Chain A
Amino acid sequence: MKRIGVFICHCGINIAGTVDVKRVAEEVAKLDSVVYAQDYIYMCSDPGQALVREKIRQEKLDGIIIAACSPSLHESTFRTAAEEAGLNPWQCEIANIREQCSWVHTDRKKATEKAIRIVSTMVEKTRLNESLEPIPVSITKKALVIGGGIAGIQAALDIADSGHKVILVEKESSIGGHMAQLSETFPTLDCSQCILTPKMVAAGKHRNIQLMTYSEVEEVSGYVGNFNVRIRRKAPFVDWSTCTGCGLCMEKCPAKVPSEFDRGLSTHGAIYIPFPQAVPNKPVIDRESCIYFKTGKCRLCEKTCEIGAIKFDQEDQIIEEEIGAIITATGYETLPVTELQEYGAGEVPDVIDGLAFERLLSASGPTSGEVRRPSDGRVPKEVVFVQCAGSRDPERYRPYCSKICCMYTTKHALLYKHRVHDGQPYIFYIDIRTGGKGYEEFYHNAEQDEGIIYLRGKVAKIFRDGDKTIVWGTDTLTGRNVEIQADLVVLATAVVPRESTAELVKKLRIQTGPNGFLSEAHPKLRPVESINSGFFIAGVAQGPRDIPETVAQASGAACKVISLFSRDHLEQDPAIAWVDEELCGGCRICISVCPYDAREYDEEKCIARVNEALCEGCGSCVAACACGATQQRNLSDSQIKSMVTASLGGE
């Protein structure tokens, strides 16, 4: 008979406030095999862990249960503590009586009963647990970074600098992301391109970085340390190996396509580079708008290119790579102005979004940095900025705060004021949030020294009247409604995850939260990892954040990858499937259900084996096995049955 110890955590009042922990200890002490049961205020604290270690030795425990918070938080903590006391880590189990009990119930009696049943269930599991050893798995020390914005660039550079190979995949033809579109950055007013382009060039030239722009990840299989990735290189219809980037083809192209990079405020040809500082600085032909592709006639670019780099017959390529870790840094979009019905739904020409205004401010933008409004090119004298356009609006748009708008709107108003001295900026806001180094000072300066008028209230409606754009708002601080006849309105539209991210996460099988942003393994303690091992996350794809935070997180994710690559091999959870060769009839149903090709048929013995390196421990084959030959370690059918019985309060 096993000697099991149960340790019940109060978690301050988090558990003890609802669950009678003393009673839980008393009740579970009566169970078979339980030789010790004790409650303690903070089990995860040093003294708490010391108690666990001491009792393992003293009571000669060969199995322990920690009744505390979710195993996602402290399973590894306690398994390490157990190991230190000489107990096999797989003899340590967590009974979740916080997230799945004390926090979700208020009736003390019922919560206590439930906690007892939860602990009993885990006692039953532990009674039959075997001692296991982790399975060593080799690592491919090459990283994949998806997304070539500042997050992806930073992560790729950091990993590459540590000596490991990196593939940086970007779906546009150039890396740079949104940061390349910005004019200046808050609160220092550094020129965005000036600080970004050296990094773009560095990433383009680094001998450990393989840049794959105009490419998208098609499929990912495998597991941490050993992923197989298929990447689609879209045909640019230009042979980049011979193209010199002279740009003559782009001048000749007769097509006019609204520039996505300039937010539709300028046009480029069907053959184009998105912006002059692009890395790599090679053009692509947009198949949708190319006159030749549409009508079969034109080919002006081909005639212009003296070295014959235009290749209309190019096709997409599929490239397969073996990868050890994946960083997802796919960035964001902003809520389209067209979705904001009461703000003109995109039909009022002088209502633009923040990124468009960045382009108007940018020295390399469509107006060379002069602020001119889209409708008639006049310099606007009264400019209204509307914050929370689609953010913090759970009823109609997005429930969350987009975080960067307070600061960039202040920056916009400031830069506008610097360009148009007699112009008047107004900012409508709900709250001004300046949590960041130097942010409060930046805002303070804008408010008190730059003549920017902050109006506390939401804008209800924006419409066009003649050449004016009428803004109806309120100022809750004076208690007066406000009307402004604006020349230009800039909406700080909500930051939203890219649509392509939703498709990508399906391929990667990583998690997103309710708003479509990538989920981290733990909101506080594991912020750069996905729950799934081998996947890391960086940048706004995880949620709205500014550049310094994005860069810090990208470096953090890179460090996690480097730390993973610093090991000789990985240890895989041994709680996987195994086969009782005596019972196996060789029906091979397990082979048909295994998603990892981990079940192999042994022709000689006529049985189905388990390839331990490939098995992920999902248990699908165990459930499928008709004769009970396949079992899962530490989750056998007999364990499950006694757990079920115990969960019902025993019989």
Chain B
Amino acid sequence: MFEPRIVCFLCTWCTSAGADLAGTSRLQYRPNGVNIKFMCSSRVDPEHVLWAFREGADGVLIGGCHPGDCHYQDGNYRTQARVSLLYRLLDDFGIDRARLRLEWISAAEGTKFAAVMNEFTEELRSLGPIKLAAREMAK
């Protein structure tokens, strides 16, 4: 079966803590993602996402605090604004928007983190491996 590779950019205060809670609660989910922890989801530069796709990621997850809950006041709003613009860019690159997900997962939502990972993995499976023209040509 196709095992998609996922890069997860998680904010330390909410989503990474939520992922830790999924662990302490011993929830089980698909092992397709590797987490990269930032202080705030607003550290995610659109370039990081594009780089991930370039490097062969089948999907990218950005996890931040719920609106209004950002540890840095409004970082997650900036993330959201950047992701909206990024979607338009993805269209231009021919990358399915579904391959980039922005989720608000709080430190208390271990179950949500596990559910998102499962759901995203399944969705990427149905989309199949990412195909980038440049990479194809390089091969």
A/B: CB atoms within 8 Å of each other? yes
Per the bound structure, the CA–CA distance linking A111 and B74 in Å amounts to 35
Q: Decide: B20 and A99 in contact? CB cutoff 8 A.
A: yes
Chain B residue contacts of A648, Cβ below 8 A: 5, 7, 34, 52, 55-57
Q: Decide: B82 and A643 in contact? CB cutoff 8 A.
A: no
Residues 612-651 of A at the B interface (beta carbon under 8 Å): 616-620, 622-624, 632, 635, 637, 640-641, 643-645, 647-649, 651
Q: Decide: B39 and A618 in contact? CB cutoff 8 A.
A: yes
Per the bound structure, the CA–CA distance linking A106 and B28 in Å amounts to 8
Q: Which residue of B lies closest to A505 (CB)?
A: B69
When A623-B82, A644-B52, A647-B7 are in contact, do A511 and B108 touch as well, CB less than 8 Å?
A: yes
Residues 575-609 of A at the B interface (beta carbon under 8 Å): 575, 593, 595-596
Residues 67-112 of A at the B interface (beta carbon under 8 Å): 70-72, 96, 98-101, 103-107, 110-111
**Is there a chain B Cβ closer than 8 Å to A531's Cβ?**
yes
**Is there a chain B Cβ closer than 8 Å to A330's Cβ?**
no
How many whole Å from B53's CB to the nearest CB in chain A? 10
Residues 38-90 of A at the B interface (beta carbon under 8 Å): 70-72
Q: Decide: A117 and B34 in contact? CB cutoff 8 A.
A: yes
* Stretch among B41-49, B88-96, B97-105 lining the A interface: B41-49
**Is there a chain B Cβ closer than 8 Å to A114's Cβ?**
yes
**Is there a chain A Cβ closer than 8 Å to B124's Cβ?**
no
Taken residue by residue from 330 to 361, chain A's Cβ proximity to chain B (1 for < 8 Å, 0 otherwise) reads as 00000000000000000000000000000000
Q: Decide: B36 and A121 in contact? CB cutoff 8 A.
A: yes
Per the bound structure, the CA–CA distance linking A643 and B70 in Å amounts to 25
**Is there a chain B Cβ closer than 8 Å to A435's Cβ?**
no
**Is there a chain B Cβ closer than 8 Å to A259's Cβ?**
no
Q: Which one of A106, A114, A651 contacts B34 once the chains associate, using CB atoms below 8 Å?
A: A114
Chain A residue contacts of B43, Cβ below 8 A: 618-620, 622-623, 632, 635
Residues 200-237 of A at the B interface (beta carbon under 8 Å): none
Q: Decide: A101 and B31 in contact? CB cutoff 8 A.
A: yes
Q: Which one of A72, A99, A623 contacts B45 once the chains associate, using CB atoms below 8 Å?
A: A623
Q: Which residue of B lies closest to A622 (CB)?
A: B43
The A-B contact count (CB < 8 A) is 142
**Is there a chain A Cβ closer than 8 Å to B128's Cβ?**
no
Taken residue by residue from 113 to 131, chain B's Cβ proximity to chain A (1 for < 8 Å, 0 otherwise) reads as 0100000000000000000
**Is there a chain B Cβ closer than 8 Å to A509's Cβ?**
yes
When A104-B22, A511-B13 are in contact, do A595 and B73 touch as well, CB less than 8 Å?
A: yes
How many whole Å from A292's CB to the nearest CB in chain B? 38
Chain A residue contacts of B19, Cβ below 8 A: 99-100
Per the bound structure, the CA–CA distance linking A91 and B19 in Å amounts to 24
Q: Which residue of B lies closest to A72 (CB)?
A: B20
When A595-B75, A619-B39, A649-B5 are in contact, do A121 and B20 touch as well, CB less than 8 Å?
A: no
Chain A residue contacts of B7, Cβ below 8 A: 644, 647-648
When A118-B34, A624-B78 are in contact, do A595 and B48 touch as well, CB less than 8 Å?
A: no
Q: Which residue of A lies closest to B82 (CB)?
A: A623
Q: Decide: B23 and A70 in contact? CB cutoff 8 A.
A: yes
Q: Decide: A620 and B23 in contact? CB cutoff 8 A.
A: no
**Is there a chain B Cβ closer than 8 Å to A512's Cβ?**
yes
Chain A residue contacts of B73, Cβ below 8 A: 509, 595
Q: Which one of B14, B26, B68 contacts A104 once the chains associate, using CB atoms below 8 Å?
A: B26
Q: Decide: B23 and A99 in contact? CB cutoff 8 A.
A: yes
When A111-B31, A618-B42 are in contact, do A531 and B23 touch as well, CB less than 8 Å?
A: no
Chain B residue contacts of A103, Cβ below 8 A: 23-24, 26
How many whole Å from B51's CB to the nearest CB in chain A? 5
Kindly name the residue among B14, B34, B70, B82 whose own CB sees the greatest number of chain A CB atoms within 10 A: B34
Chain A residue contacts of B47, Cβ below 8 A: 637
Q: Which residue of A lies closest to B27 (CB)?
A: A104
**Is there a chain B Cβ closer than 8 Å to A513's Cβ?**
yes
**Is there a chain B Cβ closer than 8 Å to A566's Cβ?**
no
Per the bound structure, the CA–CA distance linking A100 and B114 in Å amounts to 10
Query: How many of A's residues come within 8 Å of B, CB to CB?
Result: 53
Chain A residue contacts of B82, Cβ below 8 A: 623
**Is there a chain B Cβ closer than 8 Å to A519's Cβ?**
yes
Q: Decide: B69 and A519 in contact? CB cutoff 8 A.
A: no
How many whole Å from A591's CB to the nearest CB in chain B? 14
Taken residue by residue from 1 to 45, chain B's Cβ proximity to chain A (1 for < 8 Å, 0 otherwise) reads as 000010100000110010110111011110100111111101111
**Is there a chain B Cβ closer than 8 Å to A314's Cβ?**
no
Per the bound structure, the CA–CA distance linking A71 and B12 in Å amounts to 10
Q: Decide: A618 and B75 in contact? CB cutoff 8 A.
A: yes
Per the bound structure, the CA–CA distance linking A635 and B5 in Å amounts to 22
Q: Which residue of A lies closest to B107 (CB)?
A: A511
When A99-B20, A117-B34, A531-B17 are in contact, do A637 and B28 touch as well, CB less than 8 Å?
A: no
Q: Which one of B38, B48, B69 contacts A509 once the chains associate, using CB atoms below 8 Å?
A: B69
**Is there a chain B Cβ closer than 8 Å to A506's Cβ?**
yes
Taken residue by residue from 367 to 390, chain A's Cβ proximity to chain B (1 for < 8 Å, 0 otherwise) reads as 000000000000000000000000
Q: Which residue of B lies closest to A594 (CB)?
A: B72
Q: Decide: A635 and B107 in contact? CB cutoff 8 A.
A: no
Q: Decide: B75 and A644 in contact? CB cutoff 8 A.
A: no
Q: Which residue of B lies closest to A646 (CB)?
A: B34
Chain B residue contacts of A519, Cβ below 8 A: 107-108
How many whole Å from B37's CB to the nearest CB in chain A? 8
**Is there a chain B Cβ closer than 8 Å to A500's Cβ?**
no
**Is there a chain B Cβ closer than 8 Å to A514's Cβ?**
yes
How many whole Å from B74's CB to the nearest CB in chain A? 6
Per the bound structure, the CA–CA distance linking A98 and B75 in Å amounts to 28
How many whole Å from A51's CB to the nearest CB in chain B? 25
**Is there a chain B Cβ closer than 8 Å to A532's Cβ?**
yes
Per the bound structure, the CA–CA distance linking A111 and B5 in Å amounts to 14
Kindly name the residue among A506, A620, A622 whose own CB sees the greatest number of chain B CB atoms within 10 A: A620
Starting from the known contacts A72-B17, A98-B23, 15 additional A-B residue pairs (CB-CB under 8 Å) come to: A104-B28, A511-B14, A593-B78, A595-B72, A595-B74, A616-B39, A617-B39, A618-B72, A637-B45, A637-B48, A644-B48, A647-B7, A648-B5, A648-B56, A651-B55
Q: What would be 13 A-B contacts, judged by CB atoms less than 8 Å apart?
A: A70-B20, A96-B35, A99-B22, A104-B23, A511-B13, A511-B106, A511-B108, A513-B108, A620-B43, A640-B45, A643-B36, A644-B51, A648-B57
Q: What 7 pairs between A and B have smallest CB-CB spacing?
A: A99-B23, A619-B43, A620-B42, A647-B34, A618-B40, A618-B72, A595-B73
